[in-house]
Structure formats: structure tokens, C-alpha cells
């Protein structure tokens, strides 16, 4: 947050960035947000 009425959201999703549904969702978010930053992508851990 840098100014009044300026918000930051963190979203955690499951799926690969190249999957059509994930790619479409990220594209839609990018269209609505002033900034979209992918902080990282990590493989699913098996326990």
C-alpha cells in the first residue's frame, strides 16, 4: 500500500501458469489490476 485507498492482495492458487484456466485467470486479473506480480511457482510436495 502506497497511498490511501491503495490495496495489496496476495493470492495462492494451485495449477501451472501455462494451464489454460490458470492462464486465463491471470490474464483477467492483469486486465483489472494496476499491477500483477507472480512471486513464484513451486512443485507440489508429496507427503
The grid cell for 41 is 511457482
Nearest one of 8, 25, 19, 17 to 42, comparing CA atoms: 17
* Confidence band of 46 (pLDDT split at 50, 70, 90): confident
The tens digit of pLDDT for each residue in 2-43 reads: 688 888 899 999 999 999 999 999 999 999 998 999 999 888
Contact 15, 26 (CB under 8 A): no
What is the pTM for the complete model shown?
0.72
- The confidence score (pLDDT) of residue 24 equals 96
Amino acid at each position: 500500500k502506497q497511498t490511501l485507498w491503495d490495496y495489496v492482495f496476495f493470492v495462492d492458487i494451485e495449477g501451472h501458469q501455462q494451464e489454460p484456466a490458470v492462464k486465463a485467470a491471470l490474464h483477467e486479473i492483469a486486465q483489472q489490476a494496476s499491477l500483477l506480480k507472480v512471486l513464484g511457482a513451486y512443485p507440489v510436495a508429496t507427503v
